[in-house]
Chains A and B, each alone.
Chain A
Amino acid sequence: MIQAILVFNNHGKPRLVRFYQHFPEEIQQQIVRETFHLVLKRDDNICNFLEGGSLIGGSDYKLIYRHYATLYFVFCVDSSESELGILDLIQVFVETLDKCFENVCELDLIFHMDKVHYILQEVVMGGMVLETNMNEIVAQIEAQNRLEKSEGGALG
């Protein structure tokens, strides 16, 4: 199970916060901060696994993250997930973002948090991996975008 998915930038500003277990908002912020500090200390050339921050889960949980340009993508997972598998999943997620936003950059995430969430929802659902096939993910997202367009978009 995936416990949380956090995306924040090099300064710790949250860009996507998705918890699969309820925490009050202030605890969520605290976890983001703590995770940021844990991850920030680490060079880019050391391993992408971190044994859990004290706030989430406990010893069974791991932080698995990737650093892309200005953004950190952090997944907090328990021992039922394959570490390398999750790394690949992060890659799939980011590549999907790249396809959907056409050369994704931090600004896309800043201004379209809702869309990022919709994309994530096609990859992970309720803390479990839903789909790993990027073509399928993109196809579903595009179908939903078309549906939205046919309804006249959010402004209609």
Chain B
Amino acid sequence: MALKMVKGSIDRMFDKNLQDLVRGIRNHKEDEAKYISQCIDEIKQELKQDNIAVKANAVCKLTYLQMLGYDISWAAFNIIEVMSASKFTFKRIGYLAASQSFHEGTDVIMLTTNQIRKDLSSPSQYDTGVALTGLSCFVTPDLARDLANDIMTLMSHTKPYIRKKAVLIMYKVFLKYPESLRPAFPRLKEKLEDPDPGVQSAAVNVICELARRNPKNYLSLAPLFFKLMTSSTNNWVLIKIIKLFGALTPLEPRLGKKLIEPLTNLIHSTSAMSLLYECVNTVIAVLISLSSGMPNHSASIQLCVQKLRILIEDSDQNLKYLGLLAMSKILKTHPKSVQSHKDLILQCLDDKDESIRLRALDLLYGMVSKKNLMEIVKKLMTHVDKAEGTTYRDELLTKIIDICSQSNYQHITNFEWYISILVELTRLEGTRHGHLIAAQMLDVAIRVKAIRKFAVSQMSTLLDNAHLVASSTQRNGICEVLYAATWICGEFSEHLQEPQHTLEAMLRPKVTTLPGHIQAVYVQNVVKLYASILQQKEQAAETEAAQAVTQLMVDRLPQFVQSADLEVQERASCILQLVKHVQKLQAKGVPVAEEVSALFAGELNPVAPKAQKKVPVPEGLDLDAWINEPLSDSESEDEKPKAMFHEEEQRQAKHRLPEVDEEELARRREARKQEQANNPFYIKSSPSPQKRYQDSPGVEHIPVVQIDLSVPLKVPGLPLSDQYVRLEEERRHRQRLEKDKRRKKRRDKEKKGKRRHGSLPTESDEDIAPAQQVDIVTEEMPENALPSDEDDKDPNDPYRALDIDLDKPLADSEKLPVQKHRNAENAKSPEKEDVPVVEKKSKKPKKKEKKHKEKERDKEKKKEKKKGEDLDFWLSTTPPPAAVPSTDTLSANTNTDATPKDEVEEPRREAQDGEDEDQDQEKKPSKHKKKHKKEKEEQPKDKKRSRKKLLGSEEAPGEPVQNGALEEEPLPPMSSYCLLAKNSYIKMTYSVQGSLQDSQVTVSIILENLSGSVLKSMELSVLDSLNTRMARPEGSSVHDGVPVPFQLPPGVSNEAQFVFTVQSIVMAQKLKGTLSFIAKDDAGATHEKLDFKLHFSCSSYLTTTPCYSDAFAKLLESGDLSMSSIRVDGISMSFQNLLTKICFHHHFSVVERVDSCASMYSRSIQGHHVCLLVKKGENSVSVDGKCSDSTLLSNVLEEMKATLAMC
């Protein structure tokens, strides 16, 4: 064995460490992969060795390789080995590797549970810290469930370093194990007021994260956060809280009202941009939540917009970006105030920074109105031409479409203009958004009936110039617009000026190079077009022309029949056969047009996207029932492949209304024609100069426009959208003139009366009449559509599980599972009623327990109800009402909002703080100090803040920890017995005494019967922790209680002793337990129980041991002892009494005393020496301690401080 060790350490000298590995990789730039695989082989060898240092080194190297992209999951087990090393150095390496490579799928992760639990309860805070950090990265639902309780205990650890980590990690635990949220929440809430700023910040962090997902459950915390907001000086915490309020205000408008004022103050006072920005953001959120019926806040909006303008104008690009971001939030509710800054935002479109341009674009989306749409889009179009990168250009394109199409084309007054914009956009080369343009074209053409004619003429030109569009790219590019163009031309073929020419264009050989799904639409629409031409010709009795068209079809269709695309091929061959048949009939002189057109008869209406889902299920129809019994499995394989047809195609098929009889069709057509005839648009549309050729037979008359390919950007015949802008301006001008005229007339009439008011009449949105009587067809919904709002919720949201009502009292089943043992709790954790009680479930008295629980629940319910009222009460801004009932607040608020003056506000805030105070008083008497501090800070706070501070230390001015007040009151002086628990039946007091044998402590409990019944069958059950166990009679299990060896007649008290074994005594412990007993009186017997918490202070592990001064001196000289000291001020007691007190309560003995200075000694039950030097000053006492265990010493001193503080 020894040899092996030596060999191991010799080998080690030749091992590479991390630095060697990095150096090696850098020296092997050419064959890096080879070198690394060689290294991995070495690492594998190293991992096989027994020496933990070698293993740790290997794992460290693996972590580096992981960063380079190498999978190290094969070493997971070795990583766990290194994690369980006893040395911190190695442990840290192991946990780091685990945090980088472990995840929920790592199967060995379940082996770590016990190791992690051990590390969490390690006496070294850094072992615990490293375990918490590691766990935060790889916690799984199993680990979360098993360790939740251990971590919860750590939330009240003595060291702030551990507390803050434990608090933070709870969020991860909640995510993985949502059941832990309710039991852990009270303690988490408590940590919001932790004396350590780091812990406080962690708690704020976690609650903000939780509240962001499910804000409504955290409304009741608003008063607490409000208090933190007005008292904290830590910008980081302030930012988090202010952000949280932003999430809460939408749920409670009254909260918003209360926030506005302190937030505006902050905005005015702070110099930290980050804080200013978040304040503005939250004010905006408040204003949004108040937007209905709160006209008084225009000052706040102005302030926000004004501050944001300053940000946007700043040279710092970051501020500019954020300013724009926040501006877009205001925009939603107060568009007017943003619109006045249009110049600034348009200016940002020219910024060199793409992020800023994109933000500006976002803003423009909300800023458009009927009035400025054309202008803004025009500006954007020039940017499209200028834009270099395709990503930004595509973004521009989608924005233009978004802007125009938003809220059902609300802002478009002239659809001709829009269609031409869309057509202009088709000139974009290399865009990936062809389908977007296509979808818009289709949508507009279908839904705006009045525009169809214009759209068709534009689309036919587009088809004519298809080679421009199609040549650019084959896939998903701009050629997609041909899909739309063809369909529009086919479907609305009656509007075509020269259908035959278009037919020609659609049958060009070039078409076969288009993607399959577009060709398919071509084929289908060729037939529609054909049908309509046929009809025209037959009506005009031009049989020859009709036959010529048929011939054209027969000639050209075969090119599609040969298509490789299944869809195209199938349709083409079908249609070819059909046309051939028609040709035969035509040859016989049979009129066919009527029948062919019947193929495509019927009106198309748009269908709402959710329509299908909303069709109500008819009564008596069970969709889940089998219609026929299912066939055997073997046949199910024959199912048809689903994606047989292209998706788009399917949708169209759905649009079509099935089975409409001829008459109905004719009627509809008639109606449509009528409607079109009456439509003003048709009168306006200038007839094309080629119109006169329309009726002439043959295609040769149609002038084919020659296109100069060297200038592809200008497609002849396409109107420029700018033209419309001009037209529109003229039109508006005319309108205005008319209006002015009318007004003048009116004014002439009124001339004698009043003077003309105001300056030039400004044009408002409502004044602009649309150019066409636009009728936007609304989307169809099935009859009896079910109203349902739940369409948009995502059932897979991981945060849904955390939507838990936190105010409900805890149920039994919700308590955290306790795996084996609980960890030691520390002495400092303030005792509060609502700290979740992790109780041991005793088996026998279940019924009673329930009953008891119910009582408790009732109590809590009352409490909770009170809490709800508290919130209402807090939210009311009226001065503390003497007699006004708190529920009356809603009406009370309204009168306080209108006074934004600071002088008026100041006293009110104080009054309201007073209110908070009153409510808290019963629960937390220790708050007073804090409150004073806050008041003092109130004034200078505003000037103090600076941006730098976010970085610097922000600790609140030192204030002694006020925990002393929270501890149990000692019974009359010099009694070591203190109250354990008490109810109407029984009172328990206890005292803990250490004995030097076997690390045991004896707990003496005095049981006093307070009732008129006889108490018997008393049994004490205590929940053991890892560290502290109750000594039980042989053969009984850990869950059994220990019987109390006597009965108690009424009014009698007696003492029972119980022995506990303790492993580590360096920290104070708390054990929870229950005393169950039967109370028997004349009326009968009831089973009762009483819960208690046994508190083992560190002092109780000390035993009074005499020591001689020479031995004492030797001990101090040995140098083995670590040192620590405390100082307590404001002590008036005499030194003698003080010493007696220390001797009594903390089990010390005086070694030597000289004047106001004394040395004391004690020894723990495990043999630690504790030496003290106590000095008394005028008003203070300082205690220097030395002990062989530093943790024990600091805990003992801490306890002593508490004792002395009461002197």
Contact = CB atoms under 8 A, between A and B. Distances in A.
B136 A46 contact: no
- Chain A, interface size: which category? 35 or more
A121 B67 CA distance: 16
A103 interface: no
A112 B243 CA distance: 37
Interface string B163-177: 011001101100000
Interface string B63-77: 110111111000000
Contact of A111 (B18, B87, B96): B18
Contacts of A92: 951
A88 B274 contact: yes
A20 interface: yes
Nearest to B73: A25
A70 interface: no
A153 B23 CA distance: 21
Given A133-B198, A133-B953, 20 more contacts: A46-B317, A46-B352, A46-B354, A84-B322, A85-B235, A88-B951, A111-B22, A125-B169, A126-B136, A128-B171, A128-B206, A129-B201, A134-B952, A136-B198, A140-B161, A147-B124, A148-B89, A154-B60, A156-B53, A156-B87
B208 interface: yes
Rank and list the top 7 A-B pairs by shortest CB-CB distance, nearest first. A126-B136, A84-B274, A22-B103, A47-B317, A46-B353, A29-B69, A47-B321
Nearest to B69: A29
Residues of B in contact with A, size category: 35 or more
A50 B22 CA distance: 32
A128 B274 contact: no
Contacts of B320: 47
With most chain A CB atoms within 10 A of its CB, the pick from B71, B92, B356 is B92
B873 interface: no
A99 to B, nearest CB: 12
Nearest to B106: A22
Given A25-B70, A43-B352, A144-B126, A85 B236 contact: yes
A51 B172 CA distance: 26
B538 to A, nearest CB: 56
B358 A114 contact: no
Contacts of A148: 88-89, 92
Residue among B64, B69, B161 facing the most chain A CB atoms (10 A cut-off): B69
22 contacts: A1-B209, A22-B104, A25-B70, A49-B355, A50-B355, A80-B212, A84-B273, A84-B274, A84-B277, A111-B23, A112-B19, A113-B18, A114-B60, A126-B137, A133-B198, A134-B952, A147-B89, A148-B89, A151-B88, A154-B89, A155-B17, A156-B89
Interface of B: 12, 17-19, 22-23, 26, 53, 56-57, 60, 63-64, 66-71, 87-90, 92-93, 96, 100, 103-105, 124, 126, 132-133, 136-137, 139, 161, 164-165, 168-169, 171-172, 197-198, 201-202, 205-206, 208-209, 212, 235-236, 239, 243, 273-274, 277-278, 317-318, 320-322, 352-356, 358, 947, 950-955
Given A45-B317, A46-B352, A126-B169, A113 B63 contact: yes
Nearest to A135: B953
Contacts of B63: 113-114, 117
Nearest to B206: A128
A12 interface: no
B88 A125 contact: no
Interface centre among A48, A84, A135 (most CB of B within 10 A): A84
A54 B63 CA distance: 26
Contacts of B356: 46-47
A151 B88 CA distance: 8
Contacts of B165: 125, 130
Interface of A: 1, 14, 16-18, 20, 22, 24-26, 28-29, 42-43, 45-51, 80, 82-85, 87-88, 91-92, 95, 110-114, 117-118, 121, 125-136, 140, 143-144, 147-148, 151-156
A82 B212 CA distance: 14
Nearest to A155: B53
Given A22-B103, A128-B209, A155-B53, A80 B318 contact: no
Nearest to B103: A22
Contact of A131 (B57, B66, B69, B198): B198
Nearest to A118: B92
Majority secondary structure, A binding face: mixed
Contacts of A130: 164-165, 168, 198, 202
Contacts of A85: 235-236, 239, 274, 950
Q: Kindly name the residue among B19, B64, B137, B172 whose own CB sees the greatest number of chain A CB atoms within 10 A.
A: B137
A25 B354 CA distance: 31
B597 to A, nearest CB: 48
B287 to A, nearest CB: 19
A131 to B, nearest CB: 6
A83 B197 CA distance: 22
A51 to B, nearest CB: 7
A51 B67 CA distance: 24
Given A14-B67, A125-B169, A49 B321 contact: yes
A6 to B, nearest CB: 10
Contacts of B317: 45-48
A112 B68 CA distance: 14
Nearest to B274: A84
B243 A82 contact: yes
Nearest to A149: B89
Given A25-B66, A47-B320, A126-B137, A117 B96 contact: yes
A121 B133 contact: yes
B136 A82 contact: no
B395 to A, nearest CB: 11
B67 A118 contact: no
A127 B136 CA distance: 8
A131 B169 contact: no
A148 B92 CA distance: 10
A95 to B, nearest CB: 8
Nearest to B947: A88
Nearest to A22: B103
Contacts of B197: 133
Contact of A154 (B53, B201, B212): B53
Given A43-B352, A47-B318, A113-B18, A126 B168 contact: yes
B205 A129 contact: yes
Nearest to A95: B951
Contacts of B352: 43, 46
Contact of B951 (A26, A49, A132, A147): A132
Nearest to A30: B69
Contacts of A144: 88, 92, 126
Given A25-B66, A148-B89, A118 B136 contact: no
A14 B100 CA distance: 14
Contacts of B71: 24-25
B165 to A, nearest CB: 6
A87 B951 contact: no
Nearest to A79: B212
Contacts of A42: 353
B925 to A, nearest CB: 30
Given A16-B67, A46-B352, A151-B88, A84 B318 contact: yes
Contacts of A134: 951-952
B22 A128 contact: no
B951 A14 contact: no
Contacts of B139: 126
B278 to A, nearest CB: 6
Contacts of B321: 47, 49
A119 to B, nearest CB: 12
Contacts of B89: 147-148, 151-154, 156
A69 B168 CA distance: 33
B318 A128 contact: no
A88 B277 CA distance: 14
Contacts of A111: 18-19, 22-23
Nearest to A107: B22
A126 B138 CA distance: 9
B164 A131 contact: yes
